A and B are shown apart, each in its own frame.
Chain A
């Protein structure tokens, strides 16, 4: 069993049961299906960040770079008025993102601690401004994706991306795969070495492991997952904008991950749902939603020491 904790199993069981049923109840309301889809996509993004920050120990404030890149790469690679195969292009996008992550990783991993936070921030800001100030890539107005890709595999088509429910299940599948993949990685020998190098880098190094290489590979994995989430987000509404890769986007994801319980992975799902849920309620409640949102964040930091997952574990683990 890759999910060791009771709390984790309970939370995930409840989540997936509800998540599987949502489109059935809300079939007529494409807004809600779309809204929950966005949350699922964000959850993938936040999980990939949680893996890097909470487990590998790489606190990045530039993760949204890859989220935005996922969408932009798709627009750049595909012909404007021709439907391409989703799976093929998802692989292209992730492959190129992995290469970008390799280059960026080699640069940023030379630093550590607070400097790592800042250099990741700087690189993502640079790429952000590259797209923001460009003429070819739509500048600050962004670009449209005119054709939804088709999703057939060997001629068989299961999913129609124009159908909100189908897109929803594609995103839910991404959540499941990301969750299981990260869990398997963490339980593997590779994962244990990565964790050891977070907890005790000197000792791990002394045992003959090349920490740099392990961190670099982890960085590439996390970044590629983020790019996949970004690709889904861009495809959901067929629209990319440089604002997807701002530092505020990275910061928000970090907030979701810390709220959920840093490093717990399933907590990232909890954190994303809670943050988006609160935002939705406060925005409909008052023009001054920022005050409530900020107040809730402050209260949660003060009251929940290890995030929502930590709180639930205290209740449920005996």
Chain B
């Protein structure tokens, strides 16, 4: 591999990693604060992609569609938390796993009923449809640069929110001491609702941003779910910073593996995760 191609692939890997971070961030946030392993997280990614496809077809504007879809996802998150998740806080973790598996079935079915099973694609928004020269005979699409920047912006916003704002303070306190937060007069119930809804919205936003780059097909949620798990486990469950580092590592490693040893590349990220856990059984940035 030439030096030039090495850097090209490095950029491809980082770009993929940033998207992975966005998908995984909601999963790790919800787990870190609420201790809930949401197996339906991938379904929320799927919902985001399908919603934006649907609204683009109706309104014709990607921006409007993206905002509408994100707001609907936020509402969906509140609804799910209030109606279902809330009933399981003082239950076994496995009951939560079971509940979210049930949700995967329901969302897959709703997708098929509402939008059918044809594969769909969303066109890149007009303003971002150009590309910049890259190597001798290839160019780099502006939208993918834009998507990477959005992922970085959201990562920064999440970091700011958790470490600098009052909501973040409550989140950090709630992680370590639920009773104390309640003693302070904060309604932990609303806090959990907000956090869960943000988690759902983050998954949906990643689906929205990915929509013009990927194909929108049934089962797309499950295909990202496991990769997301790998990302958050490598980084340390519950850690936003860990998810960021884990996502970039997974993105770069899987990109190089796919080019250098394509037939083995499926196994490589799992192997990497197992190695990380053997050295650090709680992931890289465990608390």
Contacts and interface: CB of A to CB of B under 8 A. Distances in A.
Asked if A and B form a direct contact in the complex, defined as CB atoms under 8 angstroms apart, the reply is: yes
Interface of A: 53, 59, 107, 110-112, 114-115, 117-119, 121-123, 125-126, 129-130, 132-133, 247-248, 251, 254-255, 258-259, 262, 288, 290-291, 293-298, 301-302, 305
Most B CB within 10 A of own CB, among A107, A132, A291: A291
A115 B239 CA distance: 14
Given A114-B237, A133-B267, A294-B102, 9 more contacts: A114-B37, A119-B277, A251-B101, A255-B101, A290-B108, A291-B110, A294-B106, A298-B102, A298-B106
Nearest to B222: A248
Nearest to B113: A288
Given A115-B281, A259-B98, A288-B113, A122 B106 contact: no
Given A118-B229, A129-B267, A133-B266, A294 B109 contact: yes
Contact of B273 (A122, A247, A288): A122
Contact of B109 (A251, A255, A290): A290
B187 to A, nearest CB: 23
Interface of B: 31, 37, 39, 84, 87-88, 91-95, 97-99, 101-110, 112-113, 222, 226, 229-230, 233, 237, 263-264, 266-267, 270-271, 273-274, 277-278, 281-283
In the A-B complex, the 7 residue pairs with the closest CB atoms: A294-B105, A297-B102, A294-B106, A291-B109, A290-B109, A129-B266, A298-B102
A110 B274 CA distance: 11
B84 A115 contact: no
Contacts of A125: 226, 267, 270
A301 B278 contact: no
Given A125-B226, A301-B88, A258 B37 contact: no
Contacts of A53: 94
Given A118-B229, A247-B226, A294-B103, A258 B95 contact: yes
Contacts, number: 119
B27 to A, nearest CB: 12
Most chain B beta-carbon contacts within 10 A, residue among A133, A258, A290: A290
B102 A110 contact: no
Contact of B113 (A111, A133, A291, A301): A291
B229 A121 contact: yes
A125 B267 CA distance: 8
A290 B101 CA distance: 11
B282 A297 contact: no
Nearest to B88: A301
Given A115-B281, A122-B270, A251-B101, A301 B109 contact: no
